[in-house]
Amino acid sequence: EPEVTQTPSHQVTQMGQEVILRCVPISNHLYFYWYRQILGQKVEFLVSFYNNEISEKSEIFDDQFSVERPDGSNFTLKIRSTKLEDSAMYFCASIGQTLTEAFFGQGTRLTVV
């Protein structure tokens, strides 16, 4: 069964450092997303990406965040200068053309120390 793959599964970084979280969406999907979940809280929308550009972003997704689809398979989230409050699980998701199902990856646990 096709799945969304995320790497790494866990990343520890020092405050102020840059991190890149990687995702391989399902191959024939068209819409790509990043969500985050702070421990014990709701899953929150960060950004959506369609046709090689950002289509929507939340207020959380400030200038410290960026996304990129550098090739036909990878989708990345970069945080330029991490803060303690960026510690969370980050989930990548993708949706196909039928829009009927949204599949999530297993997440990257980001810990900022």
> Which residues form the interface with other proteins (CB under 8 A)?
4, 6, 31, 33, 35, 41-45, 48, 50, 55-56, 89, 91, 93, 95, 99-107, 109
Name the residue nearer to other proteins (CB basis): 46 or 112: 46
DSSP string of 27-53?
TT--EEEEEEE-TTS-EEEEEEEETTE
Residue 45 C-beta: closest distance to other proteins, Å: 5
Name the residue nearer to other proteins (CB basis): 15 or 42: 42
Residue 92 C-beta: closest distance to other proteins, Å: 8
Name the residue nearer to other proteins (CB basis): 35 or 75: 35
